[in-house]
Amino acid sequence: MKSLRIGLLAVGSLLAGVMVQAQTVDDIVNKHIDAIGGKDKLGAIKTVYTEYDMEVMGNQASGVTYVVNGKGYRNEVDFGGQKIIQCLTDHDGWSINPMQGQTSAEPTPADQVKASQSQLDVGGPLLNYAAKGHKVELLGKDSANGGSYKLKLTTKEGTEITYLIDPNTYYITKTVVKANVNGQDVETTMAFSKHTKTDYGYVVPFATELTLPQGFTLNITNKKVEINKDIDMTLFNMPK
């Protein structure tokens, strides 16, 4: 009987620990959602239109991003008249990159489309994550980043996104995205700052430092962010 009681106490302690961790994860996620606008406001976002400037290896460029929630993502970057276009939908994708000799649209490999689906989520994968089929776990606090909360989200497609969330503002300050592309694990890091509330009331970072798997870094500064702007869905169609 004594061993049975000890076993039950151990199981009870284990379950309590799991429940506390789950509650802590949801508490952090909910505070983050509230900090950037709240669940109702984020849930009412249909489109996000962004204009930005970008610097990479001393070169300047301008860009535009169109996102229709759950349906389409299009990013255009103009490097001195050469326009690079990346487009993604909920079922396929395509790109044009004249700087790599690619002058016509080429389809995006299926595994890249799958790994990039979170870009279609205007409210972010953490919003209603369980209903979307994602899983989130608390990895603790990151002492190297001011004691930020460290959460790992695994999307239903299998992509892993690690978030650092400021314990004071509950804004995301950094993400590390790991995905399998062409049979290889690739990692992309984004550091966020200058969080600004838009006219709509949605808080977005206006400065992003993006480190790509190839090893180089892009510095992106938003100039304009418009919420629920009309966006023509034909923008996401692959040119013939």
Residue 139 and residue 152 in contact, taking contact as beta carbons nearer than 8 Å: yes
CA triple 84-162-56, angle to 5 deg: 30
CATH at residue 73: 2.50.20.10
pLDDT value for 18: 45
Q: Across the chain, what does the average pLDDT equal?
A: 88
Residue 148 and residue 159 in contact, taking contact as beta carbons nearer than 8 Å: no
| pLDDT tier, 170 (very low <50, low <70, confident <90, very high otherwise) | very high
Q: What single-letter DSSP state applies at residue 128?
A: T
Task: Check whether 64 has a pLDDT greater than 90.
Answer: yes
Cα end-to-end span (Å), the chain:
75
Residues 116-126 have a mean pLDDT of: 92
| pLDDT tier, 145 (very low <50, low <70, confident <90, very high otherwise) | confident
Q: Which comes out higher in pLDDT, residue 18 or 234?
A: 234
Task: Check whether 19 has a pLDDT greater than 80.
Answer: no
Residue 150 and residue 161 in contact, taking contact as beta carbons nearer than 8 Å: no
pLDDT value for 17: 45
Task: Check whether 229 has a pLDDT greater than 50.
Answer: yes
Task: Check whether 15 has a pLDDT greater than 50.
Answer: no
pLDDT value for 209: 96
| Count of the separate structural domains present in the chain | 1
pLDDT value for 26: 94
Task: Check whether 79 has a pLDDT greater than 90.
Answer: no
Residues 6+ positions from 30 with CB-CB distance below 8 Å: none
**% of the chain residues with pLDDT over 70:** 90
pLDDT value for 189: 94
Task: Check whether 4 has a pLDDT greater than 60.
Answer: no
Residue 111 and residue 181 in contact, taking contact as beta carbons nearer than 8 Å: yes
pLDDT value for 22: 46
Residues 157-181 have a mean pLDDT of: 92
pLDDT value for 56: 84
Q: Which comes out higher in pLDDT, residue 182 or 195?
A: 195
- The parent domain of residue 129 ranges over 2-236
